[in-house]
Amino acid sequence: MKFRHLGRSGLMVSEISYGNWITHGSQVEEEAALACVRAALDVGITTFDTADVYAATRAEEVLGRALHGERREGLEIFTKVYWPTGPGRNDRGLSRKHIMESINGSLRRLGTDYVDLYQAHRYDYSTPLEETMSAFADIVHAGKAHYIGVSEWKASQIREAHQLARELRIPLVSNQPQYSMLWRVIEAEVVPTSEELGVGQIVWSPMAQGVLSGKYLPGQPPPAGSRATDEKSGAAFVARFLTDEVLGTVQRLRPLAEQAGLSMAQLAIAWVLQNPNVSSAIIGASRPDQVHDNVKASGVKLDADLLKAIDEIVGPITERDPAKTESPAKRP
């Protein structure tokens, strides 16, 4: 496993991190989840990403149990706050009240005294950014989080938050966006701004919800048990890619992967890691063998000709519109 700095911070993270968005506590049984975390640890992954909202808080609990007994200083544990975790009006968003209550809940479920990175899961249009950043500052100064990050924020929002973080003397070091060969909306604005500010990307869905693994074929129904067949495991997210045009195009990548000596999944993960602003790529798994396959993308260098060939194939179907950088999440 190779390691990179998270942005321009001193924190080192594994190039490939393990996330449990749609697996732990929902898609797979706990025994399988624990086996996947053990596989991640065995192959050298030290960075683990979760969120309070995943599986209605159960994902944090499962991850906490899976990591119990591990040397805490040897791990980087990330979680997030924003989405509703209860029925009340204040059980959501980035108000001071919700942030303060959420960090305590996350630490309890994870079984740790602190998280290495605490992330704003979306931008909150209903709360003043100064209130949000002040609450984050208090959490950092209390030792409950070492670093602060955001997820799916626009370039202008990252810049404003970064300035407030500097004034509050806390390290805002990361953004967690969707990024893959098929979804490159961060490249035009978010990446240049982040490079300027020293913010690193922790990217999710590097395989475009599994589509870039090549397992979905044009003109055929999704494989049984795949993400596209399970409403609990992100079927709505993968649906945008399940057109014959996209799936047919993806199959044209197979010879390039074989030429590089990689599986299609490895090619997809290695591709996002070619971007120097990417600090880590998040993978998920429902079986340990998926972890063992995916991790082989760490340290892979794709040559310029291969990258050009990939662009020529997927270019016509790649989404690049920077207006789609964020998912608007106005509080109801």
Catalytic residues: 54
Q: Find the helix or strand (DSSP H, E) in which 168 lies.
A: helix 155-168
**Residue 171: how many other CB atoms lie within 10 Å:** 22
Q: What whole-number distance in Å separates Cα of residue 142 and Cα of residue 50?
A: 21
Q: What whole-number distance in Å separates Cα of residue 285 and Cα of residue 309?
A: 28
The tokens describing 61, both together, are 């609990």
According to DSSP, the residues that pair with 11 across neighbouring strands are none
**Residue 281: how many other CB atoms lie within 10 Å:** 29
Q: What's the Cα-to-Cα distance from 304 to each of 212, 309, 314, rounded to whole Å? A: 20, 9, 16
The tokens describing 332, both together, are 């109801």
Contact 166, 136 (CB under 8 A): no
The beta strand positions in 64-153, using DSSP E, are 76-81, 115-120, 145-150
